[in-house]
Amino acid sequence: MPTSVAEPVAAVTATRRHRGALVALPVVVVLVGVVALGVGRYSVGFDQVVRILLGQVLPIERTWSDTEAAVVLGVRLPRVALSMLVGAGLAVCGAVLQAVFANPIVSPQILGVSSGASFGGVLAIVLGLGSAALVLGSFTFGLLAIVAVFATSRLRGPTPPLTIVLSGIVVGAFFSALVSLLTYLADPYDELQSIVFWLLGSLATATWAKVAVAGVPVLLGGALIVALRWRINVLSLGDEDASTLGLRPARLRWLLLVAVAAVVAGQVAVSGVVGWVGLVVPHLARLWVGPDHRVLVPVTLALGAAYLTVIDTVTRNLGAAEIPLGVLTALVGAPVFLVLLRRSRRRMWSGA
Amino acid sequence: MATSPARSGPENPTPTPAPAARLSAGSCPDPPRTPGRGGRSAEADGSGTYALLDSVPACPGGGAQKLRTGLPDLGDVRPSVLYLRGATDGLQVGGGASYNHFVTELAGGRNPAAAIAVVQATIDVEQLLAWDPEIILLGNFGPAIPATMYGDPVLASLRAVRGRRVYKVPLGGYRWDPPSHESPLMWQWVAGLVHGTGAPGLRAAIVQEYAFLYGAEPTGTQLDAILQLPANADSAGYADLGR
């Protein structure tokens, strides 16, 4: 008797938890966004920030200066929008890659996608092409990297997780070497400056143009991933089961990898290589709502957006000089990941 | 300040006197510090350059003292002068350990980024708005020009933008922003902007020093190019600068 009851009870708690997460997270994201808009090196009173924001939609008496409006709407708002896009995109890519490769320790950075994308971007800078070419180059070489990893690690059926990671490291190292070659060849008084700055990765120069550059691929790829979220569940059963259930796993996997490459390209184009978000956030989300991708995908998106916005807000408020974003994501991400790994090695993947 | 520092007096027996002895006299600012942590040799080379220039008789240098003569005394109201390296994809400032900080202080300005004790640091736009410098110098380590800042709606309230006091740093035989053999000319240029005197005689000084350094005298058009006249055309008091 107890055994037969246990199952539905667990299911009910899980559903309740899912519902809670899906209701609470949008609220959390909005709150994080408003707080991020409220703090910065140029001090604007929090009440003024709220009034400025409301003043855009409601006819409120204007109590703020032009500079305050410029800071909130022209400097902070695009930056917060960008950090949300980048964070959500990276996190959901991590979740998808972990499912497609059936491997808990992969992320865009570990699989070399980020390195491939940065090579494509650097190539576009060296050739003097515009920002559209930069995204396109990032996308092409990011996809190439991901396909290379996939081809080498799937040569003879399913492979142990570490082989995939190893393939990723090798592919990543190859593209990193190409990036080094290009920086070596680049004109030190012209291109090198912009390459180095771009590779370092920062949201300090967020503009609405950059939001558009990242927004189009991230939103398109993200929407595709969201649309395919229940199929990802089937895919993680393995190719044979997925085929039996009427899916075409090869085509689905391709679709997902293209979506991941698009999202990473958009992200790398505006903020360089940002590590750890794609690894840590999906695991946090999985600990919270479990491995069901129907819930996991939206939760990962929201959690990633909130996480990177918090990190970026810290980087721009710690001191007059900015700390590179990637430094802080690694400093926070690596220890968190170690703790997670230690605490819940079994639970995290038992139901996947 | 009354008498010029001894070039080889008995009280100064060292062959190359520390530039500190020369530059910190009177109201002059502290000499450039040799950066302690990971500093670049350019700074150290820079201080050597002043000593060298001062010891060359044909040079129009004479260090800071000559620079200071004829300039109005600003007292405590030193204008804030921010040096940006010139990139269009980020704001990289010269911090308190930079040579540019030294130049700003030497010329009578105040570096708002002085508190950042490094050579170079990246800041965000908000920090720029918070500092609200009166003068912005755009360096030659990137393509940024004053027009970019004048046209940016976010920067419209900045004092340097409202007063049209954003200037592209000149570029002669070498960039004028890092320390070089052309540095005394840069000091005069900055001093002219900081004090609002327009650096009278700078064009003649360039001709004179280039004749000494390179054995050739630049033409009027070449002087315009060196002083970045096209880029600085919209900036305050630039048409007559150096004349």
Both tokens of A118, joined, read 């940065």
Residues in A closer than 8 angstroms to B122, CB to CB, are: 202, 204, 321-322
User: What does the alpha-carbon distance between residue A205 and residue A260 come to, in Å, rounded to a whole number?
Assistant: 25
Both tokens of A286, joined, read 């999985």
User: What does the alpha-carbon distance between residue A130 and residue B139 come to, in Å, rounded to a whole number?
Assistant: 24
Both tokens of A281, joined, read 């956030």
| Predicted pLDDT of residue A159 | 65
Q: Exposed e or buried b for every residue in B112-123, given b needs 16+ CB within 10 A?
A: bbbebbbbbbbb
Sequence-distant (6+) residues with CB within 8 A of B93 are B82, B83, B84, B85, B113, B116, B120, B121, B122, B123
In chain A, which residue's Cα lies nearest the Cα of B113? A320
Q: Detail the DSSP E strand segments found in chain A.
A: none
Q: Detail the DSSP E strand segments found in A245-352.
A: none
pLDDT digits (tens, 9 = 90+) for A62-93: 889 989 999 999 999 999 999 999 999 999 99
> Are residues B207 and B201 in contact, defined by beta-carbon separation less than 8 angstroms?
no
Phi, psi of B175 (to 5 degrees): -55, 140
Both tokens of B59, joined, read 């040079």
> Are residues A321 and B131 in contact, defined by beta-carbon separation less than 8 angstroms?
no
User: What does the alpha-carbon distance between residue A163 and residue A167 come to, in Å, rounded to a whole number?
Assistant: 6
CB distance from A65 to chain B under 8 Å? yes
Q: Is the dihedral of CA B148, B150, B154, B155 positive or negative?
A: positive
Both tokens of A45, joined, read 């009173």
CB distance from A70 to chain B under 8 Å? yes
Rounded mean pLDDT of B47-67? 48
CB distance from B174 to chain A under 8 Å? no
Q: What is the mean pLDDT of chain A?
A: 86
> Are residues B152 and A208 in contact, defined by beta-carbon separation less than 8 angstroms?
no
Contact: B157, A70; criterion CB under 8 Å:
yes
Rounded mean pLDDT of B114-130? 92
| Predicted pLDDT of residue A72 | 94
Mutate to test the interface with B, among A193, A196, A315 (most CBs of B within 10 A): A193
Rounded mean pLDDT of A143-151? 89
Question: What value, to the nearest 5°, has the Cα angle with vertex B196 and ends B192 and B202?
Answer: 25
Quick one: pLDDT band at residue B64, thresholds 50, 70, 90?
low
| Predicted pLDDT of residue A150 | 83
> Tell me, what DSSP letter sits at residue B113?
G
User: What does the alpha-carbon distance between residue A190 and residue B47 come to, in Å, rounded to a whole number?
Assistant: 27
| Predicted pLDDT of residue B47 | 46
User: What does the alpha-carbon distance between residue A154 and residue A61 come to, in Å, rounded to a whole number?
Assistant: 63
Sequence-distant (6+) residues with CB within 8 A of B77 are none
| Predicted pLDDT of residue A235 | 87
Contact: B90, A205; criterion CB under 8 Å:
yes
> Tell me, what DSSP letter sits at residue A227?
H
Where is pLDDT greater, at A292 or A164? A292
The number of folded domains in chain A is 1
Rounded mean pLDDT of B79-108? 92
| Predicted pLDDT of residue A104 | 80
Residues in A closer than 8 angstroms to B157, CB to CB, are: 65-67, 70
| Predicted pLDDT of residue B69 | 62
Q: Could you give the angle at which helices A293-317 and A277-289 cross, rounded to 10 degrees? A: 130
CB distance from B118 to chain A under 8 Å? yes
| Closest by CA position to A341, among listed A284, A299, A300, A290 | A284
| Predicted pLDDT of residue A242 | 87
Q: How far apart are the first and last CA of chain A?
A: 27
Rounded mean pLDDT of B71-77? 74
Rounded mean pLDDT of B184-208? 93
**Residue A326 clears pLDDT 90, i.e. is over it:** no
> Are residues A334 and A118 in contact, defined by beta-carbon separation less than 8 angstroms?
no
CB distance from B91 to chain A under 8 Å? yes
Residue type, A347: R
CB distance from A199 to chain B under 8 Å? no
CB distance from B123 to chain A under 8 Å? yes
pLDDT digits (tens, 9 = 90+) for A231-245: 999 988 888 888 898
Question: What value, to the nearest 5°, has the Cα angle with vertex A81 and ends A80 and A82?
Answer: 90
Nearest to A204 among B116, B124, B154 (CB): B124
**Residue A15 clears pLDDT 50, i.e. is over it:** yes
| DSSP 3-state of A35 | helix
User: What does the alpha-carbon distance between residue A110 and residue B190 come to, in Å, rounded to a whole number?
Assistant: 49
Q: Which helix (H) or strand (E) holds B93?
A: strand B91-94
Contact: B126, A204; criterion CB under 8 Å:
no
> Are residues B146 and B232 in contact, defined by beta-carbon separation less than 8 angstroms?
yes
Nearest to B153 among A74, A202, A204 (CB): A74
**Residue A154 clears pLDDT 50, i.e. is over it:** yes
> Are residues B48 and B88 in contact, defined by beta-carbon separation less than 8 angstroms?
no
Contact: B154, A75; criterion CB under 8 Å:
yes
Chain A with chain B: Cβ pairs closer than 8 A: 77
Where is pLDDT greater, at B90 or B220? B220
The answer for A350, left when phi > 0, alpha when psi is -120 to 50, beta otherwise, is alpha
Strand bridging mode B135-138 / B120-123: unpaired
Closest-CA distance of chain A to residue B133, Å: 13
Rounded mean pLDDT of B34-50? 41
Closest-CA distance of chain B to residue A87, Å: 20
Contact: A75, B122; criterion CB under 8 Å:
no
Where is pLDDT greater, at A106 or B150? B150
Q: What percent of chain B has pLDDT over 70?
A: 71
Structure ipTM: 0.81
Rounded mean pLDDT of A108-125? 91
Neighbouring-strand partners of residue B166: B136
User: What does the alpha-carbon distance between residue A107 and residue A124 come to, in Å, rounded to a whole number?
Assistant: 24
Q: How far apart are the first and last CA of chain B?
A: 27
Both tokens of B156, joined, read 């419209």
Closest-CA distance of chain B to residue A80, Å: 13
Rounded mean pLDDT of B211-236? 95
CB distance from B171 to chain A under 8 Å? no
Contact: A41, B118; criterion CB under 8 Å:
no
| Predicted pLDDT of residue A4 | 47
User: What does the alpha-carbon distance between residue A190 and residue A196 come to, in Å, rounded to a whole number?
Assistant: 11
Where is pLDDT greater, at B30 or A257? A257
Contact: A204, B142; criterion CB under 8 Å:
no
Nearest to A67 among B116, B124, B129 (CB): B129
The CATH class that applies to domain B34-226 reads: alpha beta
User: What does the alpha-carbon distance between residue B232 and residue A206 come to, in Å, rounded to a whole number?
Assistant: 27
pLDDT digits (tens, 9 = 90+) for A32-66: 999 999 999 999 989 999 999 999 998 888 889 98
Rounded mean pLDDT of B93-122? 93
Give the largest CA-CA distance in chain B.
Answer: 60
Q: Is the dihedral of CA A248, A254, A260, A262 positive or negative?
A: negative
Which domain does A220 fall in, by range?
Answer: 3-350
Strand bridging mode B120-123 / B91-94: antiparallel
Q: Is the dihedral of CA B35, B41, B44, B49 positive or negative?
A: negative
In chain A, which residue's Cα lies nearest the Cα of B112? A320
Q: Could you give the angle at which helices A277-289 and A77-100 cross, rounded to 10 degrees? A: 70
Nearest to A321 among B122, B125, B153 (CB): B122
pLDDT digits (tens, 9 = 90+) for A167-181: 889 999 999 999 999
